[in-house]
Chains A and B, each alone.
Chain A
Amino acid sequence: MTSRLERAMTYAILVVFCVIALVPVLGVLSTAFSNPKSLRTGFALPDGLHWNNFADAWTRGHFGTYLQSSVIVTVTVVVAAALLSTLAAYAFGTMRFPGSSVLFYLFLIGLTLPEEALVIPLYYDLRGFGLTDTYWALILPQTAQSIAFGTFWMRAFFRSGAHGSLVEAARIDGANSWTTLWRVLVPTGWPAITTMLVITFMWTWNEFLLALVMVTSDSLRTVPLGLVFFQGQHTSEFALLAAAAVLVALPVVIVYIALQRRFIEGMLSGAIKE
């Protein structure tokens, strides 16, 4: 019944939509390699590969500094959030204590609160502590936001599968809860942990609003903020801007291509199903 024509149509439709998804991306990519003197925004094959656009963005556009800020902030947030949410989720998933469900619902609320509702008090609070215009103003709020997702995500992992009997067995062997977590559960949980890590990594790396509000020093700017400031100053230097945009997007895209299943799984879980 499913004729050859129908199959061909199906693939044709898929290809068309893949092209739609790729055109803006390829436009930026081709502009990034185009002649820096060109006044066009690419979308045509460049007349050769002008790699020096990237070197220019790195030095003249300060993207070396911006990337350094992004790496410092992202690594700290990802590691801290993973650690704290694994600990919390371990308790929520395997232990029973008064108030545990209320506390867990508090974390769930955190998942639905948009950053826009928090950013104003956060700014005045952190300024009060003298933390604005430091890395802390980027690290602390983003760690807290990622903890909400991480706890939700890892709790589901701890509650799934045969962990009950594993915990039981470890306990009979005389392991305390700390050893059980690190020796028994975490080693079996790497798929779930990896998903949490890549999602947190992407959110933190791409974050813009918080960086815009919290940081004014050029040396503390993360790459998304750097790109927007750079754009404001060099509106018509398309090749340089596009090269900078590639530097912003590339780390996430590389990890995405390597681990796309984890990205998709994690991002779709954002729609809480309880």
Chain B
Amino acid sequence: MTAVRGRYARRAPGEPRAIGYLYVAPALVLFGLLILVPFVQGIWYSLYDWDGLSVATWTGLGNYVALFTDPSLRGPFLHALVLLIFYALLPILVGLLLAAAMSRVRIHGMTFFRTVLFLPQVLAMVVVALSWRWIYAPDGLLNSVLQAVGLGSLAKPWLGDFNLALPAVGLVGTWVEFGLCMVLFLAGCQKIPRELYEAARLDGAGPLREFLAVTLPALRPEIAVAATLTIVAGLRNFDLVYITTGGGPGNATAVPAYEVYHRAFETGQVGSAAAVGVSLAVLIFVLTVAVSRAIEGRRS
């Protein structure tokens, strides 16, 4: 009994006050009506075949089975996983590489570098998408640069190419996320005590050993944060795809977030769209928990 009370007290500090309900109520009502209820409704919708107009027919888990059997649904989820390479893996690797190079030096003007590197994070995605559409355009910056350096034969309409459109969209994600990773890792590196590096050097560690033995373990919490944020951003990727490619060419860049909108509001497959939305939520939840467990778990 005391044990239970003790645990309860630890979890919820403060004094016992029933008035707490009054303070929570307005937020809870709004949150419940506009987040929790729609989420449960979404699960309900996903069990039906519904075009948004006529009577819905029950299909049970049919919409979820289709995620695995229907290539037009399996594709978007596979594309999302490919995009995670560009949204999460690549920015983290680039960030680590730079952190490794920079962990040995105290950086002056951090505020300036941080402000610039983090800038892509605060720009409206519609503006980012517009800008990159122009960069990738047939007469855009990328092709002009290629021609200028004598690689004109490589120039192509990047977003219109069946094989290259997905990586091209992914690289925009890399551009948006790499600064976030760098800022996180730079801040983490500045917190590592100099003595650790000195000790490693006394032990005769080269730059690689130094990175593996000192920098990488010290950055573990930052890597967990970076992975969580970039994975969520990579999976919730509607604006960019809608504006740059509209899922095309063909279905080459269709992703789950885009399918939710496309199916629900353009092709009248509301039940299927809801199933994609629910699966996306589950996928995000599972991946973020798994990542923080894998990266941070060993410490606790």
Q: Are the C-beta atoms of A140 and B277 separated by less than 8 Å?
A: no
One of A87, A242, A260 near B27 (C-beta < 8 A) = A87
Chain A nearest Cβ from B209, distance in angstroms = 15
| Closest-CB distance, A21 to chain B (whole angstroms) | 5
Contacts of A71 in B (CB 8 A): none
Q: How far apart sit A245 and B225, CA to CA, in the bound complex (Å)?
A: 30
CB-based contact A93/B14 at 8 Å: yes
Residues A253 and B26 in contact in the complex (CB < 8 Å), given A24-B175, A115-B236, A177-B19: no
Q: Does B248 contact A (CB under 8 A)?
A: no
Pick the contact of A117 from B125, B229, B278 — CB < 8 Å?
A: B278
Q: Is the CB of B132 within 8 A of A24?
A: yes
Residues A96 and B229 in contact, CB atoms below 8 Å apart:
no
Contact indicator per residue, chain B 103-136, by CB within 8 Å of chain A (1) or not (0): 0110100010111111111111111101110110
Looking across the interface, which residue of chain A has its beta carbon closest to that of B231? A271
| Residue A122 CB within 8 A of the other chain | yes
In contact, A94 and B281 (Cβ under 8 angstroms): no
A172 within 8 A of B: no
Near A by CB (< 8 A), chain B positions 188-244 give: 201, 224-225, 228-229, 232, 235-236, 238-239, 242-243
B: number of interface residues (CB 8 Å): 102
- State whether A119 touches B116 (Cβ < 8 A): no
Contact assessment for A119 and B277 in the assembled complex, using a CB-CB cutoff below 8 Å: yes
A21, B119: Cβ atoms under 8 Å? yes
Residues of B within 8 A of A106 (CB): 28, 31-32, 36
Q: Within the assembled complex, what's the spacing in Å between the Cα atoms of A114 and B16?
A: 34
A208 touches B102 (CB 8 A): no
CA distance A147 to B131 in the complex (A): 32
Complex: A159 Cα to B299 Cα, angstroms: 24
Q: Across the interface, do A116 and B257 meet the contact criterion of CB distance under 8 Å?
A: yes
- Measured between beta carbons, the chain B residues less than 8 angstroms from A119 are 260-261, 264, 277
Q: Which of A186-236 contact B (CB under 8 A)?
A: 202, 205-206, 208-209, 212-213, 223-224, 227-228, 231
Do A117 and B280 touch across chains, with their CB atoms under 8 A apart? yes
With known contacts A1-B201, A17-B178, A268–B184 Cβ distance under 8 A = yes
| Interface Cβ pair total, 8 Å cutoff | 304
Chain A, residue nearest B263 (CB): A120
Q: A95-B15, A97-B18, A252-B122 are in contact. Are A113 and B183 (CB under 8 A)?
A: no
Residue of B nearest to A16 (CB): B98
For the complex, is B38 an interface residue (Cβ under 8 Å from A)?
Answer: yes
Q: Are A209 and B26 in contact (CB under 8 A)?
A: no
A92 contacts the other chain (Cβ, under 8 Å)? Answer: yes
Interface size on A, residues (CB 8 A): 99
> Is A38 at the interface (CB under 8 A from chain B)?
no
- In the bound complex, CA of A94 to CA of B101 (Å): 45
| With known contacts A120-B277, A177-B17, A273-B225, A209–B131 Cβ distance under 8 A | no
Closest to B19 in A: A177
Q: A24-B128, A147-B27 are in contact. Are A209 and B239 (CB under 8 A)?
A: yes
Query: Chain A contacts of B35 at CB under 8 A?
Result: 110, 113, 118, 144-145, 148
Q: Shortest beta-carbon distance, B133 to chain A, in Å? A: 9
Distance of A16 from chain B, by nearest CB (Å):
10
A22 to B128, CA, bound (A): 11
**Contact A13 to B101, CB < 8 A, known contacts A97-B20, A107-B31, A148-B31:** yes
B284 in complex: contacting residue of A27, A101, A114, A147, CB < 8 Å: A114
Q: Is the CB of B122 within 8 A of A21?
A: no
Inter-subunit contact B102/A10 (CB<8 Å): yes
Using a CB–CB distance below 8 Å, which chain B residues touch chain A?
Answer: 9, 11-24, 26-28, 30-39, 41-42, 45, 52, 98, 101-102, 104-105, 107, 111, 113-128, 130-132, 134-135, 137, 139-141, 144, 175, 178-180, 182-184, 201, 224-225, 228-229, 232, 235-236, 238-239, 242-243, 256-257, 260-261, 264-265, 270, 273-274, 276-278, 280-281, 284-285, 288, 292
- Name 8 extra pairs, CB < 8 A, besides A88-B27, A263-B122: A7-B105, A17-B117, A95-B17, A112-B284, A118-B277, A202-B122, A206-B125, A213-B261
- A residues in contact (CB < 8 Å) with B: 1-2, 6-7, 9-11, 13-14, 17-18, 20-25, 27-28, 31, 40-43, 84-85, 87-88, 90-97, 100-101, 103, 106-107, 109-110, 112-125, 140-141, 143-145, 147-148, 151, 159, 164, 177, 202, 205-206, 208-209, 212-213, 223-224, 227-228, 231, 238, 241-242, 245, 248-249, 252-253, 256-257, 260, 263-264, 267-268, 270-273
Counting from the closest, the 9 A-B pairs by CB-CB distance are A144-B34, A121-B41, A91-B23, A88-B27, A91-B20, A271-B228, A95-B20, A117-B281, A121-B38
CB pairs A–B below 8 angstroms (15 shown): A84-B27, A90-B23, A96-B16, A97-B12, A116-B276, A116-B277, A119-B264, A121-B37, A124-B52, A144-B33, A177-B17, A227-B126, A263-B122, A267-B121, A271-B292
